[in-house]
């Protein structure tokens, strides 16, 4: 009765001897003259073809993926259709926001679309970052600092849910410091 490890050892020995055999055969064959030019040309042609095909596929796929992130209108720029910043708003809706470890206090969460909204952002304890996201993309942000009120005026053009994420490391549960606002059509 042959034990399993012995059998495995024998198999391994056979594989190793086979590999040595291949090396010896290749070594012997390498000494013989032969015309490899035809094979080489064919291999090079195939290689050039594959390079062209793979390049075209890679460039095509990357173009489609990247175009969604280009900062130009018409190329799927995410900021343009959903929100815009307003420099000098007339009659904005003011919303007070306070960041504290580790939650947001937002005066109101249902906000009207197509009207400037001025977030007046501060913090109760340490620095936080008030980041407005939609579909995983950061749209706008302002620092939330204790003793300082920073204003960020946005006009939401797309109704729906927007996420608020903290953008300044503020303690171990920082990544859980998230909230959401809802933009409604009026």
Query: Please, are residues 156 and 117 in contact by the beta-carbon 8 Å criterion?
Result: yes
Q: Pick the binder of ligand CUA from 99, 111, 119, 153 (CB under 6 A).
A: 99
DSSP helix/strand/coil, 33: coil
The reply on whether position 97 binds ligand CUA by CB under 6 A is: no
Candidates 18-26, 48-56, 67-75, 164-172; binding stretch for ligand CUA (CB under 6 A): 164-172
Give the contacts of 140 (CB within 8 A, at least 6 positions apart): 79, 83, 85, 131, 132, 152, 154
Query: Please, are residues 118 and 89 in contact by the beta-carbon 8 Å criterion?
Result: yes
The reply on whether position 174 binds ligand CUA by CB under 6 A is: yes
Q: Min. distance of Cβ 143 from ligand CUA in angstroms?
A: 11
Pick 77 or 102: Cβ nearer ligand CUA: 102
Q: Pick the binder of ligand CUA from 82, 122, 134, 168 (CB under 6 A).
A: 168
DSSP assignment of 150-168? EEEEEEE-S-EEEEEEE-S
The reply on whether position 169 binds ligand CUA by CB under 6 A is: yes
- 50: enclosing H helix or E strand: helix 37-67
User: What single DSSP character describes residue 73?
Assistant: T
Q: Pick the binder of ligand CUA from 142, 152, 164, 166 (CB under 6 A).
A: 166
Q: Pick the binder of ligand CUA from 98, 111, 128, 139 (CB under 6 A).
A: 128
Note the residues at the interface with ligand CUA (CB under 6 A): 99, 102, 128, 166, 168-170, 174, 177
């Amino acid at each position: 009765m042959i034990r399993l490890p012995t059998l495995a050892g024998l198999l391994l020995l056979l594989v190793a001897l086979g590999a040595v055999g291949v090396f010896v055969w290749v070594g012997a064959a390498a000494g013989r003259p032969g015309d490899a030019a035809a094979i080489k040309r064919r291999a090079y042609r195939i290689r050039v073809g594959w390079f062209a095909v793979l390049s075209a596929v890679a460039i095509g796929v990357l173009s489609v993926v990247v175009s969604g992130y280009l900062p130009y209108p018409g190329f799927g720029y995410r900021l343009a259709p959903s929100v815009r910043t307003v420099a000098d708003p007339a009659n904005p809706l003011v919303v007070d926001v306070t960041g504290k470890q580790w939650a947001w206090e937002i005066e109101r969460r249902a906000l009207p679309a197509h009207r400037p909204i001025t977030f007046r952002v501060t913090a109760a304890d340490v620095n936080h970052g008030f980041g407005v996201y939609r579909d995983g993309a950061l749209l706008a942000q302002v620092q939330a600092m204790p003793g300082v009120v920073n204003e960020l005026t946005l006009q939401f053009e797309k109704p729906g849910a927007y996420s608020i994420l903290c953008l300044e490391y503020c303690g171990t549960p920082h990544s859980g410091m998230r909230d959401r606002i809802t933009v409604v059509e009026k």
